[in-house]
Amino acid sequence: MQKVEWAIIGLCILIIISLIISDSINNNLGNMSKKIDSINDSLQLESEGHFLDVINKIEQSTVKVIGCPASNISEGAVLYVSDELGACDLSAGFSFNDEGNIITSAHGVHNKKLVAVIFDNGTRIVVNNGTIIENLDLSILHVKTNLPKLELESGTVPAGSSIGFIGFPLGEVNGMYPKIASDGTVAGLIPYNYNPLIVQVYVINGPINRGNSGGPVFSLRTGRVVGIVNQIFSTRQGMGVSTVVNQETINLIQQQEQSLRK
């Protein structure tokens, strides 16, 4: 009988110890969970802060680029208006070298009688000299600005990479042209026919619209430019094409410019 009683007492002790250990484990797990949540919150804030820093840096070097069919526009005229002069094309562009030259898409400035770079404060510089690289849909506007140059990726980024892009997709809003930052992902690199060349371009998943053309496409991870917005897929909502723009691209353009000067 005593053996049975001792067995019951021993079982009760084991149950009590198990409950104490279980409670301790639950408390520790709860504390660990709170610590993990705190770390995740900190990482998220740090990540959001990083993204904001990247976007602010890119925005500072991004400008409006206007291409107009007529050259007899008065100094104080409002550009990008439909009137007897015709509608001007609105694109984006950005500084990419120490001289503050602007790179943009070629289709927004090619065969235009007036091309101008317009800054956030409304001042403008009329472009008198530039280089068109039609087979890449790129244009270098040889204007000197005080804008900081944006860093370029040395190569390409893989599919699935998180990217951002900045431009003027809303056009004119109450007499102003808000600079809009959007995000998306690289869907892939595909061959694209820029007659007569077939080149590699990024396919982008993101809200690309008219007014984004010429604007920088940049890695949200590194903050470096990976491409330039070229066009949207009219049959694929929320998808667009970006010419790959990296240091290799710029070297190629500079080689073409040097050959043209000879």
Do residue 109 and residue 179 come from a single domain? no
User: CA 70, CA 86: separation in Å to the nearest integer?
Assistant: 7
Query: CA dist 78 to 81, 178, 212, 231, Å?
Result: 7, 15, 20, 25
Percent of the chain residues topping a pLDDT of 70: 68
**Does the reported pTM lie above 0.85?**
no
Give mean pLDDT, residues 183-208: 82
Q: In this model, does residue 9 exceed pLDDT 80?
A: no
Do residue 168 and residue 189 come from a single domain? yes
pLDDT for 199 equals 77
Which of these, 126, 115, 121, 119, lies nearest to 89 by C-alpha position? 115
Do residue 83 and residue 98 come from a single domain? yes
With bands split at pLDDT 50, 70 and 90, how would you rate the model's confidence at 96? Answer: very high
Q: Which range scores top for mean pLDDT: 23-37, 62-76, 157-171?
A: 157-171
Residue 168 inside a domain? The answer is yes
With bands split at pLDDT 50, 70 and 90, how would you rate the model's confidence at 167? Answer: very high
Residue 147 inside a domain? The answer is no
Do residue 68 and residue 95 come from a single domain? yes
Residue 259 inside a domain? The answer is no
Do residue 131 and residue 172 come from a single domain? no
Do residue 29 and residue 50 come from a single domain? yes
Residue 83 zone, left/alpha/beta (φ > 0; ψ -120 to 50; rest): beta
Outline where DSSP puts E strands in the chain. Answer: 62-68, 89-95, 102-105, 114-118, 124-126, 130-133, 138-141, 162-167, 180-194, 197-205, 216-219, 225-232, 239-244
Segments forming the whole domain that contains residue 1 = 1-59
Do residue 169 and residue 217 come from a single domain? yes
Tell me the per-residue pLDDT of 70-82, one tens digit each, with 9 for 90 and over.
665 444 444 444 4
Do residue 48 and residue 66 come from a single domain? no
Do residue 168 and residue 244 come from a single domain? yes
What one-letter code names the amino acid at 235? T
Residue 24 inside a domain? The answer is yes
Contacts of residue 144, Cβ cutoff 8 Å, sequence gap at least 6: 99, 100, 101
Q: What is the distance, to the nearest Å, from the Cα of residue 232 to the centroid of all Cα atoms in its chain? A: 15
Question: What's the structural domain count of the chain?
Answer: 3
With bands split at pLDDT 50, 70 and 90, how would you rate the model's confidence at 231? Answer: confident
Q: In this model, does residue 215 exceed pLDDT 80?
A: yes
Do residue 54 and residue 103 come from a single domain? no
Residue 215 zone, left/alpha/beta (φ > 0; ψ -120 to 50; rest): beta
Q: In this model, does residue 189 exceed pLDDT 50?
A: yes
User: CA 238, CA 183: separation in Å to the nearest integer?
Assistant: 11
Do residue 68 and residue 135 come from a single domain? yes
User: CA 68, CA 77: separation in Å to the nearest integer?
Assistant: 12
- The answer to whether 224 touches 153, Cβ cutoff 8 Å, is yes
With bands split at pLDDT 50, 70 and 90, how would you rate the model's confidence at 254? Answer: confident
CATH number at residue 116: 2.40.10.10
User: Residue ranges of the alpha helices (H) in the chain?
Assistant: 2-60, 247-261
Residue 35 inside a domain? The answer is yes
Residue after which a domain boundary falls, among 141, 174, 206: 141
- Paired with 164 in beta bridges are 183, 218
What one-letter code names the amino acid at 88? C
Do residue 208 and residue 175 come from a single domain? yes
